[in-house]
């Protein structure tokens, strides 16, 4: 299943980064880039991270980092 549609990143790819040591959304963003573009996948990424950490997926009240703006993403 694709989690980050901007970059075409699958849940398997996200979990591989977590297996390699990513523990936060910022670490996932620095690793595979998930969540750095439109930010629509951030809550799903948080669920995957939380589920990997303690087996009970939860969603944070606010994403811990701001997604890039359209200008930062290169839209006019």
Cβ closest to ligand FES, residue 3 vs residue 54: 3
Give me the least distance between CB of 14 and ligand FES, in Å please: 10
Cβ closest to ligand FES, residue 17 vs residue 37: 37
DSSP notation for the chain: -EEETTTTEEHHHHHHHHHTT--SHHHHHHHT-TTSSS-TTHHHHHHHHHHHHHSS----SS-SSPPPPTTTTT--
User: Which tokens in the block code for residue 68?
Assistant: 């890039």
Binding-residue pattern over the window 39 to 68 for ligand FES, x denoting contact by CB under 6 A = xxx---------------------------
Of positions 37, 46, 48, 49, contacts ligand FES by CB under 6 A? 37
Q: Does 17 bind ligand FES (CB under 6 A)?
A: no
């Amino acid at each position: 299943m694709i989690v980050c549609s901007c970059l075409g990143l699958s849940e398997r790819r996200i979990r591989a980064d977590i297996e390699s040591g990513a523990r936060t959304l910022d670490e996932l963003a620095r690793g595979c880039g998930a969540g750095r573009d439109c930010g629509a996948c951030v809550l799903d990424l948080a669920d995957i991270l939380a589920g990997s950490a303690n087996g009970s997926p939860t969603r944070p009240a606010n994403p811990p980092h701001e997604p890039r703006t359209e200008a930062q993403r290169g839209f006019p």
